[in-house]
Amino acid sequence: MFLVAMDGVYLLREGAYLLSLLIRARSAERMHLHAGLDPRTFSLFDRAVSIRAFAENELGLAADRNFTRYIPIDRDYLVTVVSAAGRLSFARYYWDYPLFGRAPYRGFFAREHAEQEAHRLREAGWDVVVRQVHAFSLLGVIGDPLYSFMAEYPTYRLAALMFHEKTHSTIWLRGQVQFNEELASFVEHEGALRYLEARYGGDSSEYRLAIDLRQDRALFRRTVAALRERLTELYGSEVSSAEMLGEKERIIEEFRHEFVVSYDERFLTEAFRGFGRLPINNALLDLYTTYTGEIGLLYELFAAADEDLRETIRLVHRVRAWPDDPRGYIREVLIPELLQHTEEGELFVVPALQ
């Protein structure tokens, strides 16, 4: 009963803050035409129009009100988000939301409220990660706005963010948060890559950097997955909790040292350099699993669809036929169906991208 009351307070408080932001929203289209607009904000609107058109016309994402309004805000992020996992396991802590369903994260507009929730979870014995987030999806109920801090984003980052949130408003399965996030992450990166190629050309520095980022992202996922696998093996052993905690810290510190000293030899960009300086714990490692845990299956579908991103997104709409097991539908229905149409005798190889 106490938790229900706390959730009620949370929803009212955060909802009131969100409403206070939304009532300040102005039409991005009208502002775009304003003669006195500063160059950075003009560029934001110009790029947003182009990215929205690409998302809807080239990728087949929902033609909705997302990113058609603009909200000035006096900081460079939107919300502070808390996630938690077991101290000696990767069991996730979940929060329940009306309409939205269960999710392994909770967002707060005020940093102090996020820290209070993080403190509560740590006291209860959970590993916790607190992070800043630059957008969240309203699932098409109310169009996601552009925020003033997005004017500082390079085009790749802006396109990735917009594709991610528009994917959520296009396809969202209640109770399947991890699948939803994996799908949005897949579309954001592949979509942004194609957008940069269309806008700047395949020989441009912007596109080449995005290709390097793609390679680094795949390497980073494998690196984090290996650490998680090593810790999972530890958590399944029969040593005492005290010994397990000590060994956990040793494994993480060993990983951190190796990650930092070998970074320049392994990675092509600066995108993940700061990871070695973060307070690595189970919650942080599980966070990456939430967004990319089984993303390889989506790349298998993508490969079977001849790397046609629009067709892949169209096919994923069909997972609603098995809403309780979307991966099973992709694995057992969609991919075999595509492979069946492959020409007889043709060698079909699924690339090991992820």
Phi, psi values for residue 179, rounded to 5°? -60, -45
Helical residues (DSSP H) of the chain, grouped into ranges: 2-22, 28-32, 39-57, 111-123, 155-170, 177-200, 205-235, 241-261, 263-266, 282-292, 295-304, 309-316, 326-329, 335-340
What CA–CA distance (Å, rounded) separates 276 from 252? 10
Q: What is the pLDDT along the chain (354 residues), one digit of tens a residue?
A: 334 445 788 989 998 998 898 899 999 988 888 767 899 999 999 999 999 999 999 999 999 889 999 999 999 999 999 999 999 999 999 998 887 778 899 999 999 999 999 999 999 999 999 999 988 777 666 778 999 999 999 999 999 999 999 999 999 998 898 899 999 999 999 999 999 999 999 999 999 999 999 999 999 999 999 999 999 999 999 999 999 999 999 999 999 999 999 999 999 999 999 999 999 999 999 998 767 767 889 999 999 999 999 999 999 999 999 999 999 999 999 999 998 876 544 433 333 333
Would you kindly state where each structural domain of the chain is located, as residue ranges? 2-78+134-153, 295-340
Phi and psi at 173, nearest 5°, equal -105, 120
Q: Residue 151 and residue 44: Cα distance in Å, rounded?
A: 5
| Sheet with 79-86, edge to edge strand ranges | 106-108, 79-86, 126-133
> Which residues have CB under 8 Å from 3's CB, separation 6+?
none
pTM, entire model: 0.86
